[in-house]
Amino acid sequence: MGKPLFYEILEKPATSSIIGICSAIWFYIQKKNIGYSHVGLSYETAIEGHHWRIITSAFSHISVLHLVFNMSALWSLGVVEQLGHIGLGVAYYLQYTLVLVVFSGLLVLGMYHILIQRFKVDYFRRVTAVGYSCVVFGWMTILSVKQPSSKLDLFGFLSLPISFAPFESLIFTSIIVPQASFLGHLSGIIVGYATAWGLIHGMNNFWAISMLGWIVVIFVFSLKQSGAYNFNFLDIESVADPSFPSVRFLGNGRTLQMSALPLEGVEVV
């Protein structure tokens, strides 16, 4: 007989919190009747400055089956939090979840960019990715390298050897769910291997907090600049040199000038 759910939640606090966040966002999306095009990530929206979608696309799910599948897999992968003795653990899980969310989103945009600009496959301009699958596939891959003897349990009855789970799941979802994002899942696998093999390394609490801070800043400013949300306390104005935006916080009269790359010739991937 397994442990009571309450004790398992205590043993997987980060996983449980993420599942709670994704479930709450799904409930909000259903209640407000929000479509995937409003929160998902696509090449077109990225080049229009909707960089905030890298975050919202990862934590949003439109269908309940999509949510249940991803959260079931994530719950099983939460064993990472209990593997502090091999260099994983709760801190590692939180730090590299940030890495997986951001890097897999950037990588899939890079893939879209190559397919569109190099191979002229315009179909990928409007393909919209949504869901936590890229992070799930990333953790599958990391665990398959760090703890190859583990099992991936889905829905409480389906068990897969973790060493084959990333590519088994990639093929399985592509066949069973034709609309599944193959490139999104593949990007999670690539970032997962880069992390497990030490190509992406050095994350600690300092860098994780710094990265989170920059994510919040870029998230808020891209929401404002793209017109997706109006922050009344924040006003972004042009100055004489268009490559230097002026940021004004209303109410105190102070301005902050920030350096930025010229808009001409910038390719967002």
pLDDT above 70: residue 250: no
Q: Which of 66, 185, 187, 222 does the annotation list as catalytic?
A: 185
Confidence grade of residue 176 (pLDDT, cut at 50, 70, 90): confident
pTM above 0.75, yes or no: yes
Between CA 150 and CA 22 the distance in angstroms is 25
Inter-CA distances, 21 with 14, 60, 129, 181, Å: 11, 9, 19, 22
Among the ranges given (27-31, 43-47, 177-181, 205-209), the one the predictor scored with the smallest mean pLDDT: 177-181
Total residue count of the chain as it appears in this document: 269
Active site annotation includes 51: no
In terms of Cα–Cα distance, which of 196, 219, 203 is closest to 148? 196
Query: What is the rounded average pLDDT of the residues 60-87?
Result: 94
Q: What residues pair up with 248 in beta bridges, in sequence order?
A: 235, 255
What is the rounded average pLDDT of the residues 202-220? Answer: 96
Single out the catalytic residue among 104, 133, 150, 181: 133
Does residue 181 carry a catalytic annotation?
no
**pLDDT beyond 70 at 225:** yes
Buried b (16+ CB within 10 A) or exposed e, 47-65: bebbbbbbbbbbbbbbeee
